[in-house]
Amino acid sequence: MDAFLLSLSAVAIAEIGDKTQLLALVLAARFRKPLPIIAGIFVATIVNHALAAELGILIANWLTPEILSWILGVSFIAAGIWMLVPDKVDELGEGVVQRYGPFVTTVIAFFLAEMGDKTQLATIGLAARFHDLLAVASGTTVGMMLANVPAVLLGDVAAKALPMQLVRGTAATIFIVLGVVTLLEVTGLV
């Protein structure tokens, strides 16, 4: 249960103001069909995060627990710093939008947007730590949905109502604290 809850919390917090949340707003504004967009986000996320979690477990099997803890601690701190930089989303190519419609466009756009994103890297790290593909992938997927479904349903209203600088700062602090605690544990100071 710890793996699921930590994965859910980490991604839900990290997603606020992330490029994929901005992408959800763009798709919602463009298509005005929330259900196919939400389904597309779910499909893209579960596939992307299941693959990332599997990679994390494979990496954990190659590394000693001490090295893995160092990597995880530094990764959390780096993700926290990364969260302080606002994301931007590029406009979708008009040909993709017209050709495939809201569901397929969302699946493709979200899957690609998550490649190398901080939430994908967090998924890899969490899976390496917990060795639990199902709990981590499902937790990160639920976290992604918790952050992006309101963006799809509420659109511009949600984007304007949230104090993004405060949200980013809080999320960054949480990740940095997790990283510092992990590093203190590996050094034996905690």
pLDDT at 95: 52
Predicted confidence (pLDDT) at residue 168 exceeds the cutoff of 60: yes
Q: Whole-model pTM above 0.85? A: no
pLDDT, one tens digit per residue, over 133-143 is 999 999 999 99
Are 36 and 103 in contact by the 8 Å Cβ rule? The answer is: yes
Predicted confidence (pLDDT) at residue 18 exceeds the cutoff of 70: yes
Tokens of 121: 């890297």
Burial letters for 103-125: b for 16+ Cβ neighbours within 10 Å, e otherwise? bebbbebbbebbeebbbbbbbbb
pLDDT, one tens digit per residue, over 43-82 is 999 999 999 999 989 988 887 778 877 877 887 788 778 7
pLDDT at 164: 61
Are 3 and 130 in contact by the 8 Å Cβ rule? The answer is: yes
Hey, CA dihedral for 141, 13, 6, 81, is it positive or negative? positive
How many other C-beta atoms can be found within 10 angstroms of the C-beta atom of residue 40? 26
